[in-house]
Structure 1
C-alpha cells in the first residue's frame, strides 16, 4: 500500500505530505482545489510523462516521493532485486524530480534508475483509473490481459509453456529465412568467407604465438644491454678480491672461529650456505652470458612475423586465439552455406513439427480463455444487476488474431503471436433487445463507470498492485446507482487500498478515511492543503456535496443518515 506521499513545488502545491491508510480513502473538495493534481503527482511518480509545466512557477524543480509497503512475496521485489535494488523492512521508496528545464531524475530506494525501470516498478504498485478515455476497458488490446488475469494459474502456466515454444519457433523461423536469402548474396558471402579462411590458414597460426614472439622480440632487441648487465653482475662476483672471493674468506675465518667457540657453528653454517649459493649464481650467470648471441636475422624474422599477425589482428581479432576462434566460426558458416539446401529442408521439417506443437498449445489457451470468458461475463452481469443495469448483457468475444506470424498447417493458415492465436473484445448490450456491440463504441460514461467497477470488483483478487486509484470514475451517475457504486468501491477496498476522488456523497460516506482538499492563499499565492476529516467535519462536507451550495440543518441530517447507512452496510459486508 501507499503509506505516505510527499509533494513539493508541483503545480499549485507548495509543499504537502499525506499519510494514507488501508481500505477506502476518498478525496473531496471544491472544483479546482487540486484533487486531480494529487493524482497527477502519483501518476508522475509511477513513470507518467513529465513536463516543465508541472514545476511550480518560480521554483527550480518539482519533487514527488512515495513510500510503499510491499508484502514479502510481492512480484515487485524480484524485479527490483534483478536491477540491484535492495528492499529492506518491506519498504519501497519511489522518487521523481522534474527540473524547470525539463530534466527528469528518478530514484528507487535512493538509487538512480531509468524512467523505464521507475515506470515498470510504479505500475506494479499502483493502478490508476481515470475517466473512461483512460480506462483499459476502452482499449481492446488490453482485454486479453484482463481475461487472462481472471483465468488464473492454469492459464498462466499454459501461457508460459506456449511462450517457450513460440520463442523456439520464431528463432528457427528467422534462421530459415536467413538461409532462404537471395542465392547471389549467399554465393557472394561464401566467396568472401573462403577468402578470409585462406588468408588465416596461410598464416599457419598457433595459439599464443603472438605472445611468445613479442617476448622473443623484446629479448632480441635488448640483447646487447642484457649481455652488458649480466657480464657486469658476473664480474662483480667472480675474480680476485671480488664478492665470491670475499665470501670464501669470510667462510674460512668463520670455520676457524667455530673451532674455538662451538656456539659459532650455526653462523658458520649460514656463511657456508651463502657462499655456495653465491657460487651457484656466479656459474649460472656465466652460462647465461656464454649462451647469449646477438642475432639480427632472427630479430628481423620475428618482427616480420609479428607484422603479419598484426595485419590479421586488424581484420579478425585482438589476439591469435581470437583469430583462430573467428576462423572456426567461418568454417561453421561455410559448412552451413555449402549445405544450404539440406539445412533448409531440415529446418522446414523442424518448423512443421514446432508449428504443430505450437498449435496444440494455442488451442489449449483458446479453450481456457473461452471457459474463462463465460465465467467472467456471467460474473460481470451479476455485478451489473447490483449496479442497476439489470438488462445488460456482456460477452467476451474470443476470435483469431489477424496480425502475427502466419503458418500453413495442412489446408489451414494459423496466425500466432506471443500470446497465442486469440484476440479478445468485450461486447455489450446495455438494454434489452439491443444487439451486442463493441464496448468501446456504445457505452456511455455512466455505463463505463459501472462496468469498470464490476470488473474491478471481480479482478481485484487477481492482481498484484498494492493501491487502486479511481479518479472521478463516478462521473455521470446519481441516485441509486451512485449508492451502488459507493458500495462496490468499498467492496474493492476490503483487504486492500483504494484512493478515490469523488463528487458523490454516497461514495464519500463509505470512506474509511476522508481527506478534504482545499485551496488557500499564502503570501499572495494559491496553495493546496489536505485536511483529514472526522465526525462533524465529515458530516458537513458530505452535506456540502449533497446541497451543492448552502449547508442547512436538513442537509446535515441527510448527511448523518447517509453516514449511518454506510456504517450499517460496512458492518454487514
Structure 2
C-alpha cells in the first residue's frame, strides 16, 4: 500500500510507502500517529468531517494505491460496481473532503458514492480500533470467515447447495406467481387470449413488413424505373448503339492483333467487355419487361401495412417482434389454461428439489460444524499463547429443522437462505463461569485486543484483506503478555501486510519497517513528519520507549536485546 495525505488535520503533505511485513509507527503522544490511521479510515469510507481539513486549506485529500490478490468476492464486487481492476492488479482509492463538508470519492479514477468506497475499502483494509471497519466483529461475516477457513473441505458441498438453492428459489417464485390471485389470473387469461387471437388472425409472416415496404417502393417508382432501365437498354443495344460500336472496335482490334501479336491482350479485354455489357443489356430487358403498373396492388399493400401498424403499436416495433410476443404469450396461455395440472406438476417438482435441498443443506451444516470444531481448537490454542487460558471461544449455529411442507408454503417468507440452513456467530466467554456472548459484545481493552489477535492469527490468510491496521492494540497490557502480542503481530505480518501503532518496545522491535512520527514547527505552523528509521535510529527509539525520558546505556542494551531476540525469532 502507498498512501498520500495532503492538508489533513495537522498533516501538510506526506507520502508513505508501506512495505511487506510489519510496519510500526511510533512517536510522542500527539505527534499525529492516530491521524494517519484516521486518514486511512477516511480513505476506506469512514464518516467525514470538515474538522479533518487543515486550517487555511480548501480541502483535504487522501489517496491510496493497493496491490491486491484476485478473489471471487473482489471480482464480484468490482463487476457489480462496473469498475475494472488494472492489469497490474492494483486499486487506487481517492477521497477529498471540502470545507463545505462534501466528500468526493473515486476508485481507479471513477466517481463513486461513499457507500461504494466503503464496500471496496473494507475488502482492502481492516482497522482494529474502529469497530465499523472490523470484519471479525461483524456477525454477518462470521459464516464467510468460517467457510474461508474451511475452504478445502467446504467448497464442493457449498457449491452443490447453492446450485440447488437457486433452482429451488426460481421454481418457488414461479409457483408463487401461478398460485396467486385467481381473479387476476382469469383477467390475464382473457387479455392474452384476445391478444393471441388478434395476432393469429393477421397471419403475419417473418419480415413481412420490410418486404411490403420494398415492394411498395418499387411499385411507387415503377414508371420511372421502366423509363430509366429501358433507356439504359436502348443506349446499349440496337443499330448504331453502344454495343454495335464496341463490336466494331472488337473486330478492328482482332484484325490488328492478327498482324501484331502484342495487341492480343487488348483484343481479349475489349471482347470481355462486349460480352459482359451484352449480358447486362439482356438482363435489363428482362427486368423492364416484368415491370407492372398495378394501382390495385399498391392499395392492397397500403391496407396490409395499415393492419400491421395497428399491431405494431400494441405488440412490438417489427413483425418479428410481434411474432416473438405471440410465441411468448402462447406459452403463458398454455400454462393458464392448464393451471391446475401445471400447479400440481410444479408442486411435485418443487417438492423433489426441496427434499434434495434439505439433504444438501444438512450436509453443509455437518461439514461446517466439523470445521468449526477445528477452528475453535486452533483459536483456543492461540488464546492460551496469549495468556487467556480461561477464555472460551465457540462457533454457535442458529436455526431449526424445516420440513418440505414449510419450504413449499409460498405465502410465507422462505425460512432458509442461499448461505445455508443455519446462521453462524462467534461467541466468547472471557472468564470461567460466565456465559458465552457475541464477539462484538466482549469488553474492550486488553482482552478484546488479544482476542482479535488470536482470531486474526488464524483467519488472516482467509479474510482476503490487503492490509491490517492495529491502532494501539497494546492498550492495558505489559510484561509477558506484551511479548506474546508482539509475537502474534509478527506471525500475522508473515501472511498479510500489517501497520501497527504501538507504545510497546516488544512490538516495535519486531518491525520490518519502523516509521517515526513527530511534530515539526517552522515558527508559524505545526505539521506532522513521517520518517523511516535505520537500524541505529530504531534502537535509539526503542530505548526511548523503554526508559520514557532519559536514554541510558542500560536501556540501549535492553533495546538491542529486544532487536536481537526479534531477529532470531524471524529467522
Calculate the TM-score normalised by the size of structure 1.
0.86
Within-5 A mapping of 1:239-278: 239-254=238-253, 257=256, 264=263, 266-278=265-277
Counterpart of 2:501 in structure 1 is 501
Say yes or no: does 1:455 pair with 2:455.
Answer: yes
Alignment partner of 1:571 out of 544, 568, 571: 568
Give the C-alpha shift of residue 371 in structure 1: 2.2
Give the C-alpha shift of residue 299 in structure 1: 1.3
CA–CA separation in structure 1 for the residues paired with 2:339 and 2:209 = 36
Give the C-alpha shift of residue 319 in structure 1: 1.9
Say yes or no: does 1:319 pair with 2:323.
Answer: no
Counterpart of 1:37 in structure 2 is 35
CA–CA separation in structure 2 for the residues paired with 1:335 and 1:22 = 64
Counterpart of 1:531 in structure 2 is 531
For each residue in 1:545-566, what CA deviation from the matched residue of structure 2 results, as whole angstroms up to 9, or x when unmatched? 4455xx2135x73364145135
CA–CA separation in structure 1 for the residues paired with 2:497 and 2:453 = 15
Give the C-alpha shift of residue 384 in structure 1: 2.1
Give the C-alpha shift of residue 387 in structure 1: 2.0
Give the C-alpha shift of residue 301 in structure 1: 1.4
CA–CA separation in structure 1 for the residues paired with 2:42 and 2:361 = 38
Moved more, 431-440 or 114-123: 114-123
Give the C-alpha shift of residue 209 in structure 1: 1.0
Alignment check: 8 A CA contact 1:236 1:242 kept: yes
Alignment check: 8 A CA contact 2:474 2:485 kept: yes
Counterpart of 2:468 in structure 1 is 468
Alignment partner of 1:96 out of 83, 94, 114: 94
Alignment check: 8 A CA contact 2:543 2:558 kept: no
Secondary structure of the structure 2 residue equivalent to 1:418: coil
Give the C-alpha shift of residue 233 in structure 1: 2.0
Count of residue pairs the alignment pairs up: 560
Give the C-alpha shift of residue 532 in structure 1: 1.1
Moved more, 362-371 or 260-269: 260-269
Counterpart of 2:125 in structure 1 is 126
Give the C-alpha shift of residue 240 in structure 1: 4.5
Counterpart of 1:185 in structure 2 is 184
Alignment check: 8 A CA contact 1:217 1:299 kept: yes
For each residue in 1:431-462, what CA deviation from the matched residue of structure 2 results, as whole angstroms up to 9, or x when unmatched? 23333333433433221111111111122343
Q: 1:522 to 1:406 in 2, by over 3 A?
A: farther
Give the C-alpha shift of residue 245 in structure 1: 3.7
Secondary structure of the structure 1 residue equivalent to 2:561: helix
Moved more, 530-539 or 449-458: 530-539
CA–CA separation in structure 2 for the residues paired with 1:311 and 1:522 = 82
Counterpart of 2:233 in structure 1 is 234
For each residue in 1:223-278, what CA deviation from the matched residue of structure 2 results, as whole angstroms up to 9, or x when unmatched? 22212322332343345443234334434444554565565555445444444443
Give the C-alpha shift of residue 185 in structure 1: 0.4
Counterpart of 2:209 in structure 1 is 210
Secondary structure of the structure 2 residue equivalent to 1:138: coil
Give the C-alpha shift of residue 180 in structure 1: 0.9
Counterpart of 2:383 in structure 1 is 384
Say yes or no: does 1:361 pair with 2:367.
Answer: no
CA–CA separation in structure 2 for the residues paired with 1:428 and 1:262 = 107
Alignment check: 8 A CA contact 1:45 1:94 kept: no
CA–CA separation in structure 1 for the residues paired with 2:447 and 2:459 = 18
Q: 1:356 to 1:79 in 2, by over 3 A?
A: closer
Structure 1 residues not aligned, in runs of 5+: none
CA–CA separation in structure 2 for the residues paired with 1:107 and 1:414 = 37
CA–CA separation in structure 2 for the residues paired with 1:92 and 1:120 = 16
Secondary structure of the structure 1 residue equivalent to 2:326: helix
For each residue in 1:398-433, what CA deviation from the matched residue of structure 2 results, as whole angstroms up to 9, or x when unmatched? 221799x993599xx993211112222333332233
Alignment check: 8 A CA contact 1:402 1:415 kept: no
Q: 1:165 to 1:523 in 2, by over 3 A?
A: farther
CA–CA separation in structure 2 for the residues paired with 1:352 and 1:126 = 44
Calculate the TM-score normalised by the size of structure 2.
0.86
Counterpart of 2:487 in structure 1 is 487
Alignment check: 8 A CA contact 2:312 2:322 kept: yes
Alignment check: 8 A CA contact 1:132 1:448 kept: no
Counterpart of 2:431 in structure 1 is 431
Give the C-alpha shift of residue 181 in structure 1: 0.9
Structure 2 residues not aligned, in runs of 5+: none
Q: 1:566 to 1:344 in 2, by over 3 A?
A: farther
Q: 1:309 to 1:473 in 2, by over 3 A?
A: farther
CA–CA separation in structure 2 for the residues paired with 1:493 and 1:272 = 87
